[in-house]
Amino acid sequence: MIQILPVTGPKEPYKTYPEGEFMRRKLAAGNWKMNGLLASLTEIKTLASLPQTDCEVLICPPVTLIHAMAEICQDTAVLIGAQDCHAAECGAHTGDISAQMLHEAGAKYVILGHSERRGDHGESDELIRQKTLAAWSADLTAIVCVGESEQQRLEGTTLDIIGAQLAASIPDGATAENLVVAYEPIWAIGTGRVPTLGDIAQVHDFMRKTLSNRFGDIAANVRLLYGGSMNPGNVAEISGVSNVDGGLVGGASLKAQDFAKIISALGQ
């Protein structure tokens, strides 16, 4: 039985209808990566002024912009998130930032285990699991990223890889409020290449089933995002794929004009 929860705020992953039916709200999450200076605040002002849709909107800028963006977006439908956090609460970790610091700066979400962090910084599934726990302690929703390399896809081990990443990167205690999972095939990130709709459906259906086996009914409501070269031209068809509850968007989230089209397609 799927639990029906009331809509309580902008972070609420459900939308409900008068008949008591509900469905997952889609999430348009922008990952700005290492892009954006103060001049980019104009983009966020434009986004914040757009008419609201049914789609939840999140921008994860570099950490230097989180506070300013959160101030701009206060009382608007746009939420601000971060791209990483340390697993510890505080301490001697030069250059690192804790989940609590991000929360205080105004972040509501944090992306964890992006393949660029797994690759550039050697992050393991276990470290991502610990970071997710840190995010939860600071009342941040974790967007845990998983995805196969091109070689793994060619070898036919995609589902094994995704299954292992889900098992080891997500801690016990996941709920639809504290967890979002993003499927991002590494070979599709920033390349303009995307999997077939059938391949996306296969992975997303697999992720739903895997999470349901582990977490039971609550897994039906955990949002599963697709990421990797999503753009205004392909968002509508990807959004229609089974168990795709939104997108994690890099390049096409940097300009408000492009991202607005993605938000509007996901909000349909």
Nearer to ligand PGA by C-beta: 22 or 204?
Answer: 204
Residue count, binding to ligand PGA (CB under 6 A): 13
Nearer to ligand PGA by C-beta: 136 or 187?
Answer: 187
- 89-97, 211-219, 223-231, 232-240 -> range binding ligand PGA (CB under 6 A): 223-231
Does position 249 bind ligand PGA by CB under 6 A?
Answer: yes
Cβ atoms of 125 and 87 within 8 Å: the answer is no
Shortest CB 231 distance to ligand PGA, Å: 7
Does position 248 bind ligand PGA by CB under 6 A?
Answer: yes
- 11-19, 50-58, 205-213, 243-251 -> range binding ligand PGA (CB under 6 A): 243-251
Would you give the distance in Å from CA 107 to the centre of its chain? Answer: 13
Give dist(CA 57, CA 48) in Å, integer.
9
Pairing of strands 27-31, 109-112: unpaired
Give dist(CA 189, CA 62) in Å, integer.
18
Give the orientation angle of helix 41-48 with respect to helix 256-266, to 10 degrees.
30
Does position 112 bind ligand PGA by CB under 6 A?
Answer: no
Shortest CB 266 distance to ligand PGA, Å: 14
Shortest CB 205 distance to ligand PGA, Å: 21
Does position 195 bind ligand PGA by CB under 6 A?
Answer: no
Map tokens 């963006």 to a residue. Answer: 69
Catalytic residue positions?
114, 184
> For the purposes of burial, counting CB atoms within 10 Å of the CB of 3, is it exposed (0-12), middle (13-18) or buried (19 or more)?
exposed
Q: What size, in residues, is the chain? A: 268
- CA torsion 215-219-225-226 (nearest 10°) is 80
Structure tokens that stand for 156 in this block: 């036919």
Does position 57 bind ligand PGA by CB under 6 A?
Answer: no
Does position 246 bind ligand PGA by CB under 6 A?
Answer: no
Nearer to ligand PGA by C-beta: 217 or 237?
Answer: 237
Would you give the distance in Å from CA 27 to the centre of its chain? Answer: 8
Task: Pick the binder of ligand PGA from 66, 82, 146, 189 (CB under 6 A).
Answer: 189
Cβ atoms of 181 and 146 within 8 Å: the answer is yes
Task: Pick the binder of ligand PGA from 119, 173, 190, 233 (CB under 6 A).
Answer: 190
Looking at beta carbons, which residue is closest to ligand PGA? 250
Judged by the rule CB under 6 A, the positions of this chain that interact with ligand PGA are 31, 184, 189-190, 227-230, 248-252
